[in-house]
Structure 1
Amino acid sequence: MKTLVMGLHIGICHEKEKKTKKKILIEYLMQHLKNHNLYALRYWACECLCLINIIFQLYLMNKFFDGEFLAYGWKVMNFSEVAQEERVDPMVYIFPRVTKCIFHKYGSSGSIQKHDSLCILPLNIVNEKTYIFIWFWFMLLATLLAFLVIYRILIIIMPKIRPRLMNAKNKTIPIDVCEAISKKIDIGDWWVLFMLGTNMDPIIYKEIVSELAKKIETNSSNH
């Protein structure tokens, strides 16, 4: 994407240089129409893999904590609302701070004796805070990625929203231009064009989209 932008994310540049770069970019897009579907699919596949990755990590973490991790954050948040006599601190339940220890020591007769005592686990005080942060972080990532994947699916299955998204990206581009170009190109080409809008100066982007729409319309008329 950086190669395609060619420094056009900066609007202040020499007019001659800007025209040359615009021409090169438009020629590239025209020559490679219908060749960007694989790029778009790979891009979206990587986003899906991110979601799968975070879900898998949640599963492993939950397995590691014997099924307690998925509800860990909810239990911590709801802890104060539970009746006093029924309260069980979920952080202490999963990360006990005190436990029973058995020490083996030699007695006065030379035989090994067992001594029961209580051991303090200070590291668990840190662990309980660390894992509550990890829980919130994982849940945030999973939620955002889930919405992102749904958003991408809507882009794929609902072509009518594509011109509106392009127009929302740059309000200076007329909606009819967005509709015209979105109908004439494949989803991969549309995605590349849409991503260019994120990485390019808005005014230059408008000029490129307008010129590209005219060229595509001209080519369609000739054929």
Structure 2
Amino acid sequence: MAERHNMYAIRYWACEFICLVNIILQLYLMNKFFDGEFLSYGLRVMNFSEQAQEDRVDPMVYVFPRVTKCIFHKYGASGSIQKHDSLCILPLNIVNEKTYIFIWFWFMILATMLTFLILYRIIIIACPRIRPRILNAKHRSIPIEVCRSLCRKVDLGDWWILLMLGTNMDPIIYREVISELAKKIETTNSH
């Protein structure tokens, strides 16, 4: 039974790790698509406003040009095709630069938060002594002694299930369940 809970916890944390890998892969692919300009895109946009007016080169215009040269072929008065060179405004690039700056910030926020989450999970796995404190911090109504005695007797997966149960149960009922479980484990181990 405990082995199944350990596998559940491992799968849960593996999904969180896969989310981090996904964000890093998305950043890499986006950077490849924009010829190496995407990773520094948001930083350059933020630094743009701090530069002197005459030294400014808008990074958004560099990545998403707003104006380009267009060649139009029109029929002339005699029926022959004439070429006209002109400048064309690309309104979609104006929208794209705003969209991709949002995407850049969103990816950076997600990558940072997921990195901290993975580090937190590694600490939970590597340091079993902090598990009772985490259980107590999330559920203040359970005494720390009960949390310590419970965490000494259960595996990592079981601890994870108990922690998740606490986030989805009424606190009063959860406190009673944990207290009864701790008593039951103590009496089982004493026999």
TM-score, normalised via structure 2 length:
0.93
| Structure 1 stretches of at least 4 aligned residues deviating more than 2 Å after TM superposition | 32-35, 102-116
1:127, CA displacement in angstroms?
Answer: 1.0
Give the match's secondary structure for 2:38. coil
Match of 2:35 in 1: 66
SS at match of 1:172: coil
Which residue does 1:117 correspond to in 2? Answer: 86
- Is the 1:104–1:114 Cα contact (8 Å) retained in structure 2? yes
Q: Distance in 1 between matches of 2:4 and 2:32?
A: 43
Percent identity reads 75
**Aligned pair partner of 1:197 in 166, 184, 187:** 166
Match of 2:187 in 1: 218
Q: How far 1:112 moved relative to its partner?
A: 5.5
Distance of 1:110 and 1:198 partners within structure 2: 77
**Which of 85, 90, 105 is 2:59 aligned to?**
90
Q: Distance in 2 between matches of 1:123 and 1:211?
A: 63
User: What SS does structure 2 have at the residue aligned with 1:81?
Assistant: coil
Match of 2:111 in 1: 142
Unaligned runs of 5+ in 2: none
TM-score normalised according to structure 1 size: 0.80
How far off its partner does 1:115 sit?
A: 3.3
The one-letter amino acid paired with 1:70 is L
In structure 1, what is the equivalent of residue 128 of structure 2?
A: 159
Tell me which residue corresponds to 1:103. Answer: 72
Amino acid at match of 2:45: V
Counterparts of 1:54 and 1:117 in 2: how far apart (Å)?
41
Q: Which runs of 5+ in 1 are unaligned?
A: 1-31
Aligned residue in 2 for 1:28: none
Which residue number in structure 1 is paired with residue 157 of structure 2?
188
Mapped to 2, the partners of 1:44 and 1:190 lie a distance apart of 14
* Residues paired across the two proteins, number: 191
Q: Which amino acid aligns with 1:206?
A: R
Listed one character per residue, the Cα deviations across residues 109-157 of structure 1 (whole Å, up to 9, x for unaligned) are 8765543221111111111111111111111111111111111111000
Bigger CA drift: 118-127 or 159-168? Answer: 118-127
Tell me what 1:178 maps to: 147
**For the residues of structure 2 that align with 1:123 and 1:217, how far apart are their CA atoms?**
67
